């Protein structure tokens, strides 16, 4: 065996692979699901509602300014409009009819949750909405999303760096970087 080959193998093994495995493994461990885009039970389109129709986010996600949850709207919220708006296309008509039928029967729609955080993270929507953080800051360009997708990686570093920037870059929101802000 040539000793040069040996050194190359050695460096590859210990110098690069191990650190790389550790760092990448870390990302994987905390559950990075950036780009997660589950199929929903109904083909609801944010690009139609929030984009073309320009509905305010909080019209549907009404708890965002008072609760830790933004809340997924109840069927009655859908029916506020869809009592009248029955759809223009066959596709739309069929799906809006499904909503109406579920509403009549009193059966909730089981949406697939897109943004999941571990249980030990106590994120609070109202804290961010109250301070005037745009929904898009974290959720991305929702008005252009047909099917909802996880925009940010939602890692702790992503949270912390934004919080930190508020203080250092003079954005002035005085976002805390204490551990107990989220972990308690």
Partner 1 sequence: MNNADNIPVQPEPTDDMPPEVAAERERALINRRRFLQISGLAALTAVAAGCTGKPMAVAPAVARSPETTPGVAYWYASTCQACSAACGMLMKVRDGRPIKVEGNPQHPMSRGGLCVKGQASVLGLYDPDRLKAPQLNGAPLTWADLDKAVAKAVRAAPDKVRILSCTQNGITARNIVNEFLQLAPGARHVSYDAVSQSAIAQAHRLSHGNAAVPRYRLDKAAVVASFGADFLGTWISPVEFARQWADARRDPAHGFLKHVQIEAAMSLSGANADQRIRLPESAQGAALVLLAKNLAARAGINDPFAEPPAGGFDPADIAKLADELWAARGKALVLCGANDLNRQLVTNFINHVLGGYGATLDFGAASQQKLGDDRELATLVDDMEAGKVSTLILWGVNPAYDMPDAARFVAGLKKVAFSVAISDRLDETASLCSAVAPDHQALESWADFQPQLGLHSLSQPGIRPLYRTRGALESLLAWCGSPRAGKHARDVIREVWEKQVLNGRKWNDVLEQGVLDLRAEGVPSKFDAAGVRDAGAKAAARAEATGFEVITCESVQQGDGRHANNAWLQEVPDPLSKISWDNYAALSPAALAKLGAKNGDLIALQAEVAGRKVALELAAVGQPGMADNAVAIALGYGRTHAGRMAAANSPGAVIGVNAFALIGAGGVVTATLKLTGGKTPLAQTQTHDSQEGRPHAMETTLAALHHGGHGEHAAHEGSLWPGQKYNGRRWGMVIDLNACIGCAGCVVGCQAENNIPVVGKQEVGARREMHWMRIDRYYSDDKPADQGAVADNPTVNFQPMMCQHCENAPCETVCPVLATTHSSEGLNQQTYNRCVGTRYCANNCPYKVRRFNWFDYKHDDPTLNLVLNPDVTIRSRGIMEKCSMCVQRIQEGKLAAAREGRKLSDREIRPACEQSCPTQAIVFGDLNDKGSEVSKLAASGRNYVVLGELQVKPVVSYLSKVRDRHEVQG
Partner 2 sequence: MSHQVYSKLREPLVTGDVSLHQITEQACAPLERRAGLTWWMAFALALTALGVGAAAVTYEIATGIGTWGLNKTVGWAFDITNFVFWVGIGHAGTLISAVLFLLRQKWRTSINRSAEAMTIFAVICAAVFPLIHMGRPWLAFWTAPYPNFRGPLWVNFRSPLLWDVFAISTYFTISLVFWYIGLIPDLASARDRAKSKIRKFIYSIMSFGWNGSSRVWSRYETAYLLFAGLATPLVVSVHTIVSMDFATSVIPGWHTTIFPPYFVVGAVFSGFAMVMTLLIIMRKVVNFQNFITVNHLENMAKVILVTGSIVGLAYSTEFFIAWYSGNEYEGFTFVNRATGPFAWAYWIMVSCNVITPQLLWFKKIRRSVPMLFILSIFVNIGMWFERFVIVVTSLHRDYLPSSWAYYTPTLIEIATLVGSFGLFFTLFLLFCRALPMLALGEIKSVSKFGRKPRHPELDDHSKPAAKQPGKSTRAHQRETAHV
Partner 3 sequence: MSRLVIGVFADEDHVVDATRDCRLAGFEIQDVYTPYAVHGMDEAMGLRRSRLTWVCFAAGAAGCAFALWFQYYTQAVNWPINVGGKDPWQMPAYVPIAFELTVLIGGLTTMLALFVRSRLFPGKRAKLPAPGVTDDKFALVLLQRDSSFDAERARAILAQHHVERVLESGGLS
Binding site for partner 2 (CB under 8 A): 19, 22-23, 26-27, 30, 32, 153, 155-158, 160-161
Burial of 70 (0-12, 13-18, 19+ CB in 10 A): buried
Report the residue number, 22 or 84, with the smaller CB distance to partner 2. Answer: 22
Q: How far is the CB of 142 from partner 2 (least distance, A)?
A: 24
Residue 24 φ then ψ, to 5°: -65, -40
Alpha-carbon torsion, ordered 158, 169, 183, 61, to 10 deg: -70
Q: Which does 176 bind (CB under 5 to 8 A by kind): partner 3, partner 2, partner 1, none?
A: partner 1
Token pair of 125, please? 């929507």
Within positions 54 to 93, which residues make up the interface with partner 1, using CB under 8 A?
A: 62-63, 65-69, 71-77
Per CB under 8 A, does 3 bind partner 3?
A: yes
Q: Are 175 and 166 in contact (CB under 8 A)?
A: yes
Q: Pick from 15, 31, 87, 146: which binds partner 1 (CB under 8 A)? A: 31
């Amino acid at each position: 065996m040539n000793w040069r080959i040996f050194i190359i193998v050695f460096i590859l093994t210990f110098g690069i692979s191990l650190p790389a495995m550790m760092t990448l493994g870390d990302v994987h461990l905390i559950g990075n699901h950036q780009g997660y885009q589950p199929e929903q039970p109904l083909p609801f389109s944010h690009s139609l509602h929030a984009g073309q129709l320009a509905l305010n986010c909080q019209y549907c996600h009404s708890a965002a300014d008072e609760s830790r949850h933004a809340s997924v709207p109840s069927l009655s919220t859908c029916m506020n409009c869809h009592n009248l708006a029955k759809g223009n296309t066959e596709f739309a008509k069929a799906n809006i009819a499904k909503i109406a039928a579920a509403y009549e029967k009193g059966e909730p729609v089981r949406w697939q949750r897109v943004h999941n955080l571990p249980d030990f993270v106590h994120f609070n929507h109202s804290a961010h909405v109250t301070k005037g953080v745009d929904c898009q800051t974290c959720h991305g360009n929702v008005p252009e999303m047909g099917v909802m997708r996880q925009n940010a990686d939602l890692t702790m570093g992503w949270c912390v760096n934004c919080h930190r920037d508020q203080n250092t870059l003079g954005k002035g929101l005085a976002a805390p970087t204490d551990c107990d802000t989220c972990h308690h």
